Amino acid sequence: MKRSELNDLIKEAGVYPNAHQLLLLKSALYPPAEAFAYFELWLNQLKGIHISKSASTKPGLPQVFDQLDLGSQRLLSLLYSNLKSYRTSYPILEQLSGYYKYVWYKNQLLNSTLTALGKEISSSNINLIALKGIAHINQFYGDFGSRPTVDIDVAVQRKDVKSLVSLLNRSGWRSVSGDINRIESSMFHAHSFKRKGLELDVHIRFSLYALKQATEYLMWERAIASDNTIKYLSPPDELYCVLLHGMQWNLVPPIRWVADSVKIIEGLTDDQWVMLKELIRSENYQTPIDMLRYLNENEFARIPSEILNMPDISESKLLQNQYRFSLVPREDNDMIMARRVFYRTLYKNNGNYLKTLKDWFSHYLYSRNKKYIIQLIFELIRLQFKRS
């Protein structure tokens, strides 16, 4: 696959913001005095919404939310957080204050649940790393109302999976994914549990895309201690995972990678930039470099020249196939999802078909989805014809 074809897939998947989304991101991330001009431009493109301070023109939140894609909706509390001290008398910002408070409350609830989980594992030898939403808020946002989060994400080492599952069961968490006794065999990104209306996603890998075993080991080694037993990824590792996570198709446009990246970058030290550069070189993914260049070009963050001027990486066909099936719309299409998992596994195994076949059948015992076996046979036959 040519790089131009991949770039077309990236564009179609909505990885990079469109014009209206870009205005919203600038409104939410630029310094308030500068951001407000972009806020007005963004607001003027919405139907029936005015920036007048008159009470008679006060909009209801549905008028705003209903015109936005889900990715943009997730940025509205950050927009309010950025502009609330600058022009709080504007009707739309007054309306968003209620949404901001709701997000703050929900995140406090999730964070207290994560803290309780940390206390529960404190007497065990289980190692957990908090990922994504609550981890980002605690480490980088510093404001529980600025980033909506729907669940708790933690990573666990394979050796600790059974101990963690046992602990979660005793604490009232119930599995809603595949075979709970075979989580370590899963090729999926995460396994979900629920309790009292809250969701906990347990990850046995840090990224949707395959990372080298040495990289995953290094990420565990340099994880940062928190106030409780649960740790966080180091900022360079977290940023790299954010970039990879943003590089996929989703029903919710993945544009929040811009905001998450900016918040992480704000605190990066020179030594941490060096760590990130080494990580990019080691993993050989080109797209994270392109995404950092995008942040720099749109003045969201100042990226060091050592990163911007890195030579482009020639990506293997195995890696490109990972991209291909992560960027196409899948919705509830099991076959697309199966091909995504297949190529991620094949890449992880350095193209070893026998090892991939073994992993795939182990995954089948976890998921019990016959479509995955059918898809595996189809892919192996197709690839064999390509090689012959």
**Each residue of 278-322: pLDDT tens digit?**
999 999 889 999 999 999 999 999 999 999 999 988 887 777 878
d(CA 140, CA 267) in angstroms, rounded, equals: 8
Question: Tokens representing 223?
Answer: 């994880």
Pairing, β 198-203 against β 152-156: parallel
The band of 59, judged by pLDDT with boundaries at 50, 70 and 90, is low
Q: How many other CB atoms sit within 10 Å of the CB of residue 266? A: 11
Question: Tokens representing 9?
Answer: 């897939």
Provide, rounded to the nearest whole percent, the portion of the chain with pLDDT above 90: 53
Query: Is the predicted pLDDT of residue 333 greater than 60, yes or no?
Result: no
The band of 358, judged by pLDDT with boundaries at 50, 70 and 90, is confident
Q: Which residue has the higher pLDDT, 386 or 247?
A: 247
Query: Is the predicted pLDDT of residue 129 greater than 50, yes or no?
Result: yes
Please state at what angle helix 317-327 crosses helix 3-12, rounded to 10 degrees.
Answer: 20
d(CA 200, CA 115) in angstroms, rounded, equals: 13
Query: Is the predicted pLDDT of residue 57 greater than 60, yes or no?
Result: no
Tell me the CA distances in angstroms from 303 to 59, 126, 273, one per residue in order: 39, 36, 9
Res 55: pLDDT: 47
Q: Rounded to two decimals, what is the model's pTM?
A: 0.90
Res 288: pLDDT: 94
Measured at the CA of 177, the angle between CA 350 and CA 339, to 5 degrees, comes to 35
Which ranges of 17-90 would DSSP assign to H, the alpha helix? 19-29, 32-44, 61-65, 70-73, 76-83
Query: Is the predicted pLDDT of residue 92 greater than 70, yes or no?
Result: yes
Q: What is the pLDDT of residues 153-185, one digit of tens each?
A: 999 998 998 999 999 999 999 988 766 777 776
Residues 6+ apart with CB under 8 A from 203: 131, 153, 154, 155, 156, 189, 190, 191
Among 22-31, 335-344, 371-380, name the most confident range: 22-31
DSSP for residue 201: E
What number of helices (H) and strands (E) belong to the chain? 19, 6
Residue 156 pairs with which residues in a beta bridge?
A: 128
Q: Which residue has the higher pLDDT, 363 or 145?
A: 145
Res 388: pLDDT: 46
**Tokens 């919405």 identify what position?**
46
In 222-300, DSSP assigns E strands to: 231-232
d(CA 204, CA 186) in angstroms, rounded, equals: 9
Please state at what angle helix 270-283 crosses helix 235-246, rounded to 10 degrees.
Answer: 50
Q: What is the pLDDT of residues 206-257, one digit of tens each?
A: 998 889 999 999 999 999 988 778 999 999 999 999 999 999 888 889 999 9
Res 250: pLDDT: 85
Query: Is the predicted pLDDT of residue 384 greater than 60, yes or no?
Result: no
Res 101: pLDDT: 96
Res 387: pLDDT: 52
Q: What is the mean pLDDT of residues 113-131?
A: 92
What mean pLDDT, rounded, does the chain reach?
86
Res 256: pLDDT: 97
Burial 15-47 (b: 16+ CB within 10 A, else e): bbbeebbbbbbbbbbbeeeebbebbeebbeebe
Q: Which residue has the higher pLDDT, 325 or 141?
A: 141
